[in-house]
Chain A
Amino acid sequence: MYVMFLLMGASLMASLIFLGAYIWSVRSGQFDDKYTPSVRILFDDKKKSKKSDTENDSGINEEEKK
């Protein structure tokens, strides 16, 4: 029966890890804004291949795609 102590220790450790994760998430401000992330996640990430030379010509392609 004393194997119970091992189980208890393990389960307590697991729950302590979750508690730690929760405390970290509150501290790091993940509860400050409960709305914007829900919108942000829906945005598609576009490839940022030509970040350097976008200035002039590429705009037209963009327009036609629309």
Chain B
Amino acid sequence: MAIKFDQYKTGHSDIEKSESLNCFHCGDPCPDKSIAVGDKIFCCHGCKTVYEILNSNELCEYYDIENTPGVSPKKDLVSERFAYLDDELIQEQVLEFSGTNVNKVTFHTPAMHCASCIWLLEKLHDMDRRILSSTVNFPRKEVSISYAINEMKLSGAAALISSLGYEPLINLDTVGKREQSSAEKKLYLKIGLAGFAFGNVMILSFPEYLSRVGDVDPVFKMVFGYLSLVLSLPVLLFSSRDYYSSAWAGIKSRTVNIDVPITLGIGMLFLRSAWEILSQTGAGYLDSFTGLVFFLLIGRIFQQKTYDVLSFERDYKSFFPLSVTRKINNVEAIVPVSKLLPGDRIVVRNQELIPADSVLLKTGTMIDYSFVSGESEPVSKDAGDFIYAGGRQVGPTIELEVIKEPSQSYLTKLWNNDVFNKPRFSRLNKTVNQVSHYFTLAVVGIALAASLYWLQFDTRMAIRVFTAVLIVACPCALALSSPFALGTALRIFGRKGFYVKNTEAVEALSKVNTIIMDKTGTLTKSQQETIEFSGARLSREEQQKIKSLVKHSTHPLSRKIFQALDTTATLPVTDFEELSGKGVQGIIGGDKIKIGSGSWLGMPVEEIDIEDMKTRVYLHINGQIKGSFLIASIYREGLRPMLAKLFKQFRLILLSGDTEREKATLVNLFGQEEDLHFRQTPEDKLNFVISTQKGDTHVLMVGDGLNDAGALRASEVGIAVTDDVSAFSPASDAILRGENLHLLPTFIKMSKATMSVISASFIISILYNVVGIGFAVSGMLSPLVSAILMPASSISVVAFTTFSTSMRARMMGLS
């Protein structure tokens, strides 16, 4: 698995490094040279501190492995922040291993991005001797730390790596799953055993390939036969077990999936070989048998391209924090979120999440619900208001009283919907299974007909022909074509920032005919907006006055204007007033300035554009309208051509949790009006997807936030768009980098091309089968013919699918 570092690099390391003005530790540009140690300058005290820690521990080799490898540690380091980790219940969930002297814990540290990070995180024992050892798993971005139980607490270990800038990410989700990759380990064992048996049986069968009757000593024949039989037993009993269970599951649900003819073929191969060897009437086909299973398993491992660092199964638990500050009798303590009870008082600081449905106490505030509802503007809340869990606090610290337990909140209830319990792709009828249905019927039919024909002459011959047909028709090539074609497509997508969970998702994508999109965070860039001023030119002095005025307001629009104006805000403001829902006013330097909504400032109604009333803020100086600020979301690049392309082939629908304020822009982008829906709650979106899925409609949902989680799950294919791959994205079938959203039409086209490659390879493998069945019905299937035909067909089909899939990708500009 070749993983390039770039894939994991976080933004800061992409910045051009010029020696002089960049931080020695993290590479970020430095404002000046005031923070320095010797000739090394730093961007902040955090970086300097890390350098000093490393320097005093002789760990500066860290800076030799990669240039400016550091990560700036978080500024608001609260030393008791990890105190909740010492809670016994939490420890039970977090610790991987707990002994009498040593504890072992695995932390997920998203900041890890380069070789230096690996080096440093594995040298923790040099820094702090209470740590016994630490091991990094880079693809998973995990560090496992063993520490002495008597000398160190778990919170100490977490604080240590945080002080180096590698803040561990601990939430309900990372705690919940500890299931190791045991399935993958088992697959490796199965392949190893099958390969071992294949090689050895092939050698033991070699005399048989070259000899004519009577050439080989019968004693050798017998010993070789028995040995092969013993070697094949683990393959029969262990390596090919998955195929039996899958075939059985298929038959139980009344479908003939591809594993049914495979199981038939495998079973017949072994039975006939065992019978031939035991009755000493022939050499059997054990070489073909072991080889077949070996190739099939290789196909299986190729199909499993895993993205360790990505998680496709996240639910609200991975979004919510593990701990929260609870206040009892004016004493603050950090407690696990799961321990919160109705009636508890909690303290939530700026940019922290509200973990449970609660009521706001004391002061009013702004809550950012963009991730939950899709609404891009923070909502203002007053004391006594009910606040849903999942909102992010914007502004000063607030106090809340919990009303419901975290697991019972409005948002988390979405996960109680039935769609989350249904298996994925239950509506998808895999092409390979459709083919295998007819294929199996045809093969069994031919086998019966041929043996009936031979029954007239020779009973033993009839049995031999019957088994030979089933053996040779074992659809090895057929079964290998889709894992290799889809697996190749999966890798090509991955290189383009489109990480698909599994091959089923690629196949499902090719069948999509309706595309539903979310707006905030999906079509628009998250957390970014433009501000434009239209009207009379503002003098520098006027700009200063405006900035001074909005400085006093906490309204998000005021803050945006404040940030957009490139000047100082030092002028004193008198008579400042903030009118909720209207705007702000005040007197600065003798001018009375009002900033706010058009209706408040007495704009004639017909001049206010209803569509964007909410985002246009008017400026009013001394009784005169000077102009207006237009605040708009930034749409992703290449959106218009992409939507135009998609519009030709698919039904396009927009489901937005936001208000209609950007409807005009969206109508323009989508070129239609009827399929744009606004003010959609998470449940609305989910129900909309379910109601759309009728008949031949296959839905692709493209979303980003928790509010899309239900819709992503209910749709045939759910794609989560994200700007930061290691950040939270809801459960989905694929994760797409935001900057590559414009490639979506090409991705869909590629998935269709892959399916046509599979169809072509089906034809090839069926041709092989026709030849093989020709041998079989005439009773001429010797072990040698079988041993040549099976690998030849498999290898040529694998080569064909892999090559033509990458060819198609190159033609589309994807590789």
Contact = CB atoms under 8 A, between A and B. Distances in A.
A54 B58 CA distance: 7
Contacts of B58: 54, 58-59, 62
A56 B63 CA distance: 20
B200 A12 contact: yes
A26 B126 contact: no
Contact of A33 (B56, B64, B139, B199): B139
B316 interface: no
B115 A39 contact: yes
B65 interface: yes
A6 interface: no
Interface residue tally on A, bucketed by range: 35 or more
A18 B199 CA distance: 13
Contacts of B184: 31
4 nearest A-B pairs in the assembled complex, by CB-CB distance = A36-B138, A59-B55, A33-B137, A26-B188
Contact of A15 (B56, B137, B200): B200
15 contacts: A4-B220, A8-B227, A15-B196, A15-B199, A26-B188, A27-B185, A32-B181, A35-B139, A36-B139, A44-B61, A48-B126, A58-B58, A59-B56, A63-B60, A66-B60
Nearest to B55: A59
Given A19-B193, A22-B192, A36 B56 contact: no
Given A19-B193, A23-B192, A54-B58, A35 B181 contact: no
A39 B220 contact: no
A66 B189 CA distance: 47
A52 to B, nearest CB: 9
Given A29-B185, A31-B185, A40-B118, 18 more contacts: A1-B217, A4-B220, A8-B227, A18-B196, A22-B196, A31-B184, A32-B181, A33-B139, A35-B1, A35-B3, A36-B138, A43-B65, A43-B119, A48-B126, A54-B56, A58-B58, A62-B55, A63-B38
B122 interface: yes
A26 B185 contact: yes
Contacts of B65: 43
A56 B193 CA distance: 56
A19 B190 CA distance: 11
A44 B58 CA distance: 14
Interface residues of B, number: 37
A26 B184 CA distance: 10
B417 interface: no
Contacts of B138: 33, 35-36, 39
B223 interface: yes
A7 B184 CA distance: 35
Contacts of B63: 66
Nearest to B61: A46
A36 B188 CA distance: 19
A54 B60 CA distance: 13
Main secondary structure of the interface of B (DSSP, over half): helix
Contacts, number: 79
Given A55-B56, A59-B56, A36 B136 contact: yes
B233 to A, nearest CB: 14
A18 B200 CA distance: 13
B57 interface: yes
B178 interface: no
A63 B60 CA distance: 8
Among A4, A34, A36, A63, max chain B CB count under 10 A is at: A36
B362 interface: no
A16 B137 CA distance: 31
Contacts of B118: 36, 39-40
Contacts of B55: 59, 62-63
Contacts of B181: 32
B189 A54 contact: no
Interface of A: 1, 4-5, 8, 12, 15, 18-19, 22-23, 26-27, 29, 31-36, 39-40, 42-44, 46, 48, 51, 54-56, 58-59, 62-63, 66
Given A1-B217, A26-B185, A32 B126 contact: no
A34 B58 CA distance: 29
B74 interface: no
B64 A66 contact: yes
Nearest to A46: B61
A19 B196 contact: yes
Given A19-B196, A59-B55, A31 B137 contact: no
Nearest to B203: A11
Nearest to A12: B200
Contact of A5 (B38, B137, B188, B223): B223
Interface in B162-196: 180-181, 184-185, 188-189, 192-193, 196
Contacts of A59: 55-56, 58, 60
B460 interface: no
Contact of B188 (A18, A31, A44, A63): A31
B140 interface: yes
A31 to B, nearest CB: 6
A62 B61 CA distance: 9
Contacts of A8: 223, 227
B422 to A, nearest CB: 31
B140 A33 contact: yes
Among A1, A29, A43, max chain B CB count under 10 A is at: A43
Nearest to A63: B38
B290 to A, nearest CB: 13
Contacts of B122: 40
Contacts of A15: 196, 199-200
A14 to B, nearest CB: 11
B140 A23 contact: no
A40 B121 CA distance: 11
A27 B58 CA distance: 36
